Amino acid sequence: MMHLVPEKKGLVEQLMLSQQSRNMWKGQSKWGLVIQFWLKLLVGHSALSRLCMMFVATCSIGMMWSAATVHGEGIELHSTAQKAWSTILNKTDTQTKRSLQQSYESAGKWISQKEMWEQKIKQLHTTNATELVQLRKAISNTDAAKLAALQQTVELTQARYEALFKLYSSLNKQLSAAKSLQSKEWSSAIRTQAETLKPLVQLAREDIRVKKRSLAEARKRKNNEVKRLRTMLNGTNAVKKQIQTAKKQVSLSRERYTDALRNFKQSLKKGEPVRVLSTLNALVSSAERWTVASQHIHTLEQKVSAIYVKVSEEINNRSK
């Protein structure tokens, strides 16, 4: 086994399924358990780690479905329809029987693939939704530490010069009082003190102005950066609209499949092999369109994920 640096080794260990997680693949509720497992694993990791784990999870589900569909016997039929199907196969010629069986298995495989894509879509959509919440929070916190440090610097600087400003203000008030009393000696003494402090006060005020200017510029940079990152994030809006359109196509494909399945079952009742084969081929075609439509949604979800990864990289690069 090749040697890995600690960081990469840790990531690999996180991606390896424990015995408990492998057991989760068993049973009727395996899909819900698998998704819950991976969602828990994704929480608290960086975008790159989450992306790697998401890839492993997707491949795992894909392999699982592949194993399940290899041994599949086609679409599911209730007992009466299954009996009618068996009767059709027994009474038809060899070539037609082979065509019927091939189409039957093909329809079943398309449906199994469709269900696989639906699981992948659900998983990736959930991951994207979680990532979006974290990205929005990270964008809002852009340069938060820098701004807090600059704000503290301004406050500390003002506090440091507060005594000087109070003394200078007090001398100016005393000078005004001395002038009103027409006391030349008192006025001269106070004026001398005030003039001595004046350059120091000017330097102090300039120091505060510089630090406030730095804070204002930092806030402006943050606002510009937040705007830029949110614009990148909004790049998913167009893709999400495409997903909504694709979902309508999936819904339409589902309805067509339901109609084709009903026609196929009705043809079984009539017991005409040629008619059964025709309706079965129509069922295969509708199952394929349904699967392709579902796969398209997954592709669009991947585009959303890719945009999120780019935004996350921009945030991480800025924090370095």
Which has more pLDDT, 149 or 1? 149
**pLDDT-derived band of residue 70, with 50, 70 and 90 as boundaries?**
very low
| Per-residue confidence (pLDDT) for residue 187, from 0 to 100 | 76
**Whole-angstrom Cα distance, residue 91 to residue 271?**
9
Which has more pLDDT, 42 or 83? 83
Radius of gyration of the chain (CA): 36
Region of residue 2 (phi > 0: left; psi between -120 and 50: alpha; otherwise: beta): beta
Question: Per-residue pLDDT tens for 25-65?
Answer: 333 334 444 445 444 544 455 544 554 455 444 444 444 44
**pLDDT-derived band of residue 74, with 50, 70 and 90 as boundaries?**
low
Averaged pLDDT, 212-223: 96
Question: Per-residue pLDDT tens for 226-281?
Answer: 999 999 999 999 999 999 999 999 999 999 999 999 999 999 999 899 999 999 99
% of residues, the chain, pLDDT over 70: 76
**pLDDT-derived band of residue 320, with 50, 70 and 90 as boundaries?**
low
pLDDT higher than threshold 70 for residue 194: yes
| Per-residue confidence (pLDDT) for residue 247, from 0 to 100 | 96
**Whole-angstrom Cα distance, residue 235 to residue 233?**
5
| Per-residue confidence (pLDDT) for residue 189, from 0 to 100 | 83
Residue 163 contacts by C-beta under 8 Å, 6 or more apart in sequence? Answer: none
pLDDT higher than threshold 60 for residue 175: yes
Tell me the two tokens of residue 47.
Answer: 């975008």
Q: Which of 27, 38, 10, 194 minimizes the C-alpha distance to 125? A: 38
pLDDT higher than threshold 80 for residue 72: no
Q: Which of 290, 223, 278, 300 minimizes the C-alpha distance to 100? A: 278
Sign of CA dihedral 153, 157, 158, 162: positive
| Residue with the two structure tokens 């990532």 | 131
Q: Give the least confident one: 129-133, 139-143, 178-182.
A: 178-182
Helix (H, G, I), strand (E, B) or coil at 271: coil
| Per-residue confidence (pLDDT) for residue 318, from 0 to 100 | 78
Averaged pLDDT, 125-145: 95
| Residue with the two structure tokens 């994704």 | 42
Contact between 271 and 88 under an 8 Å Cβ cutoff? The reply is: yes
